[in-house]
């Protein structure tokens, strides 16, 4: 019983860590990456779609992203969506594709991005702790229903705390790596 609860909580925590990784991947560093723009929501034909559903996105150079729409008639909508995003990048449209030149980050912008990383890492940790709380509630219910003993409950609680500490540490490591990536020139 306890192992099943721990397994479920670990699975949920893994998903929280993966969501944190994906979230941090969308934060701009000095290098071009398709993850900066592939999840951008663009309003096309009256409905929202992600940019990766509308175009081929490539990185031919370290400071440039190329967006080649599947349907050339959508290029203006894609350009408008990129402008409305908070990327701080101005698209260059030549009628067939959009070039996004990634400017070098200023020191002030790097510090702002590092703060964003820190707050997103904290959100990830909160998510991990929420999963711990849910697991603890499940263990309490099992104890209350006499499906596990009080000793098993405490053992399960300790295992749950170890798991939580492990995932909080992973969150910190991911955040620290991203901050280093942002602050390096």
pTM greater than 0.75: no
Task: State pLDDT tens for residues 61-115.
Answer: 888 899 999 988 889 888 888 888 877 788 898 888 999 888 777 888 888 888 9
Per-residue pLDDT, 181: 84
At residue 87, the pLDDT reads: 75
Domain locations in the chain as residue ranges:
2-25+106-183, 34-101
Give me the mean pLDDT over the 147-165 stretch.
92
CATH number (1.20.1530.20, 1.10.3720.10, 1.10.132.20, 3.40.309.10) of 2-25+106-183 reads 1.10.132.20
From the number of C-beta atoms within 10 Å of its C-beta (0-12, 13-18, 19+), residue 120 rates as buried
pLDDT for residue 31 is more than 80: no
The pLDDT assigned to 19 comes to 92
Take residue 165 and report the two structure tokens written for it. Answer: 């500490």
- Say if residue 56's pLDDT is above 80: yes
Q: Alpha-carbon distance 117 to 182, whole Å?
A: 9
User: Residue 30 is inside which H or E element, if any?
Assistant: none
What confidence tens digit (pLDDT) does each residue in 5-24 have? Answer: 899 999 999 999 999 998 88
Number of Cβ atoms within 10 Å of the Cβ of 172: 13
Helix (H) or strand (E) holding 68, with range, is strand 64-69
pLDDT of residue 121: 95
Q: What is the topology classification, in CATH, of domain 34-101?
A: Gyrase A; domain 2 (3.30.1360)
């Amino acid at each position: 019983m306890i192992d099943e609860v721990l397994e479920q909580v670990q699975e949920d925590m893994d998903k929280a860590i993966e969501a944190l990784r994906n979230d941090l991947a969308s934060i701009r560093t000095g290098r071009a990456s398709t993850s900066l723009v592939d999840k951008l929501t663009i309003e096309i034909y009256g409905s929202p779609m992600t940019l990766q559903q509308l175009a081929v996105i490539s990185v031919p150079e370290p400071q440039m992203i190329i967006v080649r729409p599947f349907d050339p008639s959508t290029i203006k909508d894609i350009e408008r969506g990129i402008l409305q995003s908070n990327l701080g990048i101005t698209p260059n449209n030549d009628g067939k594709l959009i070039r996004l030149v990634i400017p070098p980050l200023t020191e002030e912008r790097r510090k702002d991005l590092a703060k964003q990383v820190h707050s997103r890492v904290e959100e990830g940790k909160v998510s991990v702790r929420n999963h711990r709380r849910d697991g603890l509630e499940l263990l309490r219910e099992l104890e209350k229903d006499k499906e596990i003993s009080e000793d098993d409950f405490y053992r399960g609680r300790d295992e749950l705390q170890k798991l939580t500490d492990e995932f909080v540490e992973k969150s910190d490591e991911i955040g620290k790596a991203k901050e280093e990536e942002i602050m390096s020139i």
